[in-house]
Chains A and B, each alone.
Chain A
Amino acid sequence: MNVAMQQSTSPPTAAAESRYAAEAQNVTVEFHGHKAVDNVSLGIAKGEVCAIIGPSGSGKSTLLRTFNHLQEPTSGQILINGRPTVPGSRKPKPADLMQLRRTVGMCFQSFNLFPHLTALENIMLAQTKALGRSKDEARERGRHLLERVGLEAKANARPSQCSGGQQQRIAIARALALDPEIMLFDEPTSALDPELGAEVLAVMRELADSGMTMLVVTHEMNFAEDVAEHLVFMADGVIVEQGDPSSVLRSPQQERTQKFLRAVNGR
């Protein structure tokens, strides 16, 4: 049945008709002959929150990173709103990639804030340098976003003066400043203590409620069950099982999924 679900995706005939905000079609990523992602197809509907779970090394990050071409697929393609990110077979041009990354924002496990800039400057940089907004506009938008993630008081603080949870919330604000249509999260809370992780998850929950399309690699099963509409379990570079989060988490059909969930719940 999971096979049927995976293959229910027919290529969209026209961009405007696509059901999916983001879609991977037969994506394979090879590293030195090893397939980290092996012929994976996955569609994320507009406004949907899709969570990817799975053991470490199963290719979750690699798959996620193909959606904004931080990772170039070895074969297969990514479609955003039904349009291939790389038209034809040519290599993506820098301008195409920059455009793609304004549409698809990303947050990293290690935040990757710019340490020499203040929180507000972190949020302003890409607005002025990638979108061409004026400094005043970028600053106003930055303050608004800091307020949205509950950190207006940290506008002039350096990342080193913020907790991990605050840094991740600033990183979310930084990505949102480009008004992306889709947000990618790669284990956004894995580097955080539970309490600090909770404040980040609260911001992500709010973002999901606002209708953002999100693809989230996570170990937070509660978040996956409560917030996600679509759960994907990956192992060894393939999607083993996917579907409604509660059904996958509570009555997994595949032995590999059952084994993984037993290990996670057994902690």
Chain B
Amino acid sequence: MGGAGMNTDSWSDLLADLLPGLALSLQLTAAMLAMGLPLGLLMAVGLSQKRKYVSVPTLALVEIGRGIPALVLLYMIYFGLPQAGMSLDAFLSAAVGLAISFASYTSEVFRAGLAAVPHGQREAGHALGLPRTVIFLRVLLPQALKIIVPPLLGWAIIYFQATSLAFALAVPELMSRAYVLATTNFQYLNMLALAAGLYAAISIPLSLLSEHMNRRGSRTATS
């Protein structure tokens, strides 16, 4: 059945039409990570504060970020913020919404990674008269990253796929490009299958890499 439609455009032509969409999806992922990673780290620091007036509001933010479906966040930012006198374009709305969701989920990964660094490391830093920021950035974070990076990569893959939600804001990313092209050439199955293949082509190698790092990490941790 696909053959009937295939005589107009070859696979490679269709693929070429989709590639700008993939490029935009990757840009969206990069923008999401650029905001979401620091925000997730910041939330983790907030969560691990002893002072309740810092940790409790942070926890509330994290729960809200995880409790609201990412699509609802995107809509709230794109359609809701203008009512509050602030408007972002569709791309930025999608990036910010996904970043908030991503940060809320990964804050726990960051927190657990930092908590896994032995207490003696912080103590040694203090005993050497190092400023707190140096202890955090030069002593604790590099050690935590070894634990954090594999699960973080897993989350990044999930959120790369979640950039397809930006379709709802008419951002011409991979999913919306596949759909829009399909409405003109009526090759819905082929277009969506191609888009799926492109998502998978990025996701699967990265998730294999994440698993590989995970295995290597747990091996060195136990040896």
Contact = CB atoms under 8 A, between A and B. Distances in A.
A108 B123 contact: yes
A110 B124 CA distance: 10
A65 to B, nearest CB: 9
Given A70-B126, A115-B143, A116-B143, A129 B131 contact: yes
Contact of A114 (B121, B126, B127, B132): B121
A159 B138 CA distance: 16
Given A114-B139, A116-B142, A125 B128 contact: yes
A139 interface: no
A126 interface: yes
Nearest to A105: B127
Q: Which of B124, B127, B131, B134 has its CB near the most chain A CB atoms (within 10 A)? A: B127
A174 interface: yes
Interface in B127-184: 127-132, 134, 138-139, 142-143, 146
Interface string A68-107: 1010000000000000000000000010011111100110
Contact of B131 (A94, A112, A116, A175): A94
Contacts of B123: 70, 108, 112
B49 to A, nearest CB: 16
B134 A129 contact: yes
Contacts of B129: 97-102, 126, 130, 178
A68 B134 CA distance: 19
Nearest to A106: B127
B140 to A, nearest CB: 10
B85 interface: no
Interface in A23-59: none
Contacts of A100: 129
Contacts of A101: 126-129
B2 interface: no
B120 interface: yes
A6 B124 CA distance: 31
Contacts of B138: 125, 129
A140 B142 CA distance: 25
B131 A174 contact: no
A126 B126 CA distance: 10
B78 to A, nearest CB: 42
Given A114-B139, A115-B143, A130 B131 contact: yes
A92 to B, nearest CB: 12
Contacts of A116: 142-143, 146
Contacts of A129: 130-131, 134, 138
Contacts of A115: 143
Contact of B127 (A70, A110, A113): A70
Contacts of B128: 101, 125-126, 130, 174-175, 178
Nearest to A174: B128
Contacts of A125: 128, 130, 134, 138-139
A263 to B, nearest CB: 28
A112 B118 CA distance: 9
Interface string B99-136: 00000000000000000001011011011111110100
Given A101-B128, A125-B134, 12 more contacts: A101-B129, A108-B120, A108-B124, A112-B118, A114-B124, A114-B143, A115-B143, A116-B143, A126-B129, A129-B131, A130-B130, A130-B131
Give the 9 A-B CB pairs with smallest separation, nearest first. A112-B124, A101-B129, A126-B128, A112-B120, A130-B129, A106-B127, A98-B129, A129-B134, A102-B129
9 contacts: A70-B123, A101-B129, A108-B123, A114-B121, A114-B139, A116-B142, A126-B128, A130-B134, A178-B129
